């Protein structure tokens, strides 16, 4: 077996440098815990950016995948498979919407949502050809494709990758008036994360999404919520939009839809909107494959049967309150919803990276986002005792 040092050296030699990982190698995982090749144990407080909400290697998901492996893994959509229909039914019921289009990665789900919205704009709303506009929020994160980075405001993600796709416009997040002002007769959609995850768990004002819903309805503009990170119980509800008691027109999901087994994503919407997608207009070789459907169905069952939304709400509130009580002078703000928590450090703290590295030394894996913020998003199956264990370490690191 390779040592941690050997693994990191091999990656540094043969891999592109598109990430700057915390220097820890994970070779085994179970539930909320991961191990390095030397046998050191860590509490996972990132959950692969919320893809492992159900915990690592959830036995029901693993069993479903193993069972499916013995039958059929990939058919392509040239043929029907015996798993897709039942998976999509369950997904639509969970989302409270009518039809879904399965893809693989989150970015593909976003691309799918954008394509549906543009076609709907031309074919249903009557926007003149090639003039559709889509509004997005500043500091968004929706993925890494050429189209998506075109409407990112993160210079690091955009630099020297242009020219970019036209037809997108940024407005400030959490600003209702800016949305109202930006809408024109050519606007087909507003694409927004209900809580901005990669920006540092930025939570909008109470009722923001409800007001966004009203404005979109008033102007016949589709509301596309990207719940690839906030979805599947992370924020204390099955989907974050449910806190506002609204229904998006298009819902984008990914990550925890497979419980972290492999990429499974989807765009979910109503029939009247999805009808613009016709044979040949969109697809993916692996999208909707039987293995993905088996993982997806089991992943959804686990979220429901283990009441992970309620768990996330309860334990999240406890974790948040206890972190706030640490009251460190290094904290600028501690915020969160469910088990989606961010500690924003003061400028004087000197950057979050030194703290995430220190936490790693003490057995907690968390990742900084931007310079000053540490996100804490453990698997939702985490136990209260495990949170208490993490709190002791956080106290040690931030009281000092
Ligand atoms: C809100 C949001 N949308 C889209 C994506 C992209 O997902 P993927 O990395 O699977 O393409 C992410 C990933 O972090 C995300 O947080």
Average pLDDT in the chain: 97
For the packed helices 384-399 and 308-326, what is the interaxial angle rounded to 10 degrees? 20
Q: From residue 346, give the alpha-carbon distance in Å to each of 185, 332, 366.
A: 43, 5, 18
pLDDT at 370: 86
Q: Decide if 141 is catalytic.
A: yes
Q: Is 302 a residue whose pLDDT tops 90?
A: yes
Mean pLDDT for the stretch of residues 25-44: 98
Nearest CA to ligand 1 atom 13: 143
Q: Is 286 a residue whose pLDDT tops 80?
A: yes
* Cβ 204 under 6 angstroms from ligand 1: no
Enter the tokens of residue 67.
């069972």
CB atoms within 10 A of CB 123: 12
What residue has token string 């592109």? 16
Enter the tokens of residue 131.
């003039």
Percent of the chain with pLDDT over 90: 99
pLDDT at 400: 62
> Alpha helix locations (H) across 165-235?
176-182, 208-218
Mean pLDDT for the stretch of residues 277-301: 98
0.95 cut: is pTM over it?
Answer: yes
> Within the chain, how many helices (H) and strands (E) appear?
14, 15
CB neighbours of 177 closer than 8 A, spacing ≥ 6? none
Separation of alpha carbons 258 and 11, rounded Å: 26
Which of 143, 232, 239 should be mutated for ligand 1, with most atoms under 8 A from CB? 143
Mean pLDDT for the stretch of residues 311-315: 98
* Cβ 367 under 6 angstroms from ligand 1: no
**206 falls in which pLDDT band (50, 70, 90)?**
very high
CATH numbers and ranges of domains, the chain: 4-54+307-399 (3.90.1150.10), 59-305 (3.40.640.10)
Separation of alpha carbons 172 and 140, rounded Å: 10
Percent of the chain with pLDDT over 70: 100
**399 falls in which pLDDT band (50, 70, 90)?**
confident
Mean pLDDT for the stretch of residues 49-75: 98
């Amino acid at each position: 077996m390779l040592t941690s040092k050997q693994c990191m050296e091999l990656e540094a030699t043969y891999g592109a440098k598109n990430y700057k990982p915390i220097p820890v190698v994970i070779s085994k995982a179970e539930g909320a815990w991961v191990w390095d090749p030397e046998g050191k144990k860590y509490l996972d407080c990132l959950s692969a950016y919320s893809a492992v909400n159900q915990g690592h290697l959830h036995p029901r998901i693993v069993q479903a995948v193993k069972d499916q492996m013995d039958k059929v893994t990939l058919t392509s959509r040239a043929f029907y498979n015996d798993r897709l229909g039942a998976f999509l039914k369950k997904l639509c019921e969970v989302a409270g919407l009518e039809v879904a289009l399965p893809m693989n990665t989150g970015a593909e789900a976003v691309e799918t949502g954008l394509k549906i919205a543009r076609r709907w704009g031309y074919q249903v709303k009557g926007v003149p050809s090639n003039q559709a506009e889509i509004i997005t929020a500043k500091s968004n994160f929706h993925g890494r494709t050429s189209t998506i980075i075109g409407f990112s405001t993160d210079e690091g993600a955009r630099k020297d990758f242009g020219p970019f796709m036209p037809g997108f416009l940024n407005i400030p997040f959490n600003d209702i008036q800016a949305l109202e002002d930006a809408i024109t007769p050519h606007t087909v959609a507003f694409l927004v994360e209900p809580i901005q995850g990669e920006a540092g768990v930025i939570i909008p004002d109470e009722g923001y999404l409800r007001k966004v819903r009203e404005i979109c309805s008033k102007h016949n503009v589709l509301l596309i919520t990207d719940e690839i990170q906030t979805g599947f119980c992370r924020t204390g509800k099955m989907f974050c939009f449910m806190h506002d008691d609204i229904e998006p027109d298009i819902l984008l999901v990914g990550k925890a839809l497979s419980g972290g087994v492999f990429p499974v994503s989807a765009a979910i919407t109503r029939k009247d909107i999805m009808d613009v997608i016709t044979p040949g207009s969109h697809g993916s070789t692996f999208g909707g494959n039987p293995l993905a459907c088996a993982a997806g169905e089991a992943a959804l069952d686990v979220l429901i049967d283990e009441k992970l939304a309620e768990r996330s709400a309860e334990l999240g509130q406890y974790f948040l309150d206890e972190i706030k009580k640490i009251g460190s002078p290094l904290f600028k703000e501690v915020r969160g919803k469910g088990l989606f928590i961010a500690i924003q450090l003061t400028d004087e703290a000197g950057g979050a990276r030194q703290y995430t590295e220190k936490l790693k030394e003490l057995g907690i894996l968390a990742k900084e986002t931007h310079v000053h913020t540490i996100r804490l998003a453990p698997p939702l199956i985490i136990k209260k005792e495990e949170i208490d264990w993490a709190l002791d370490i956080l106290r040690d690191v931030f009281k000092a």
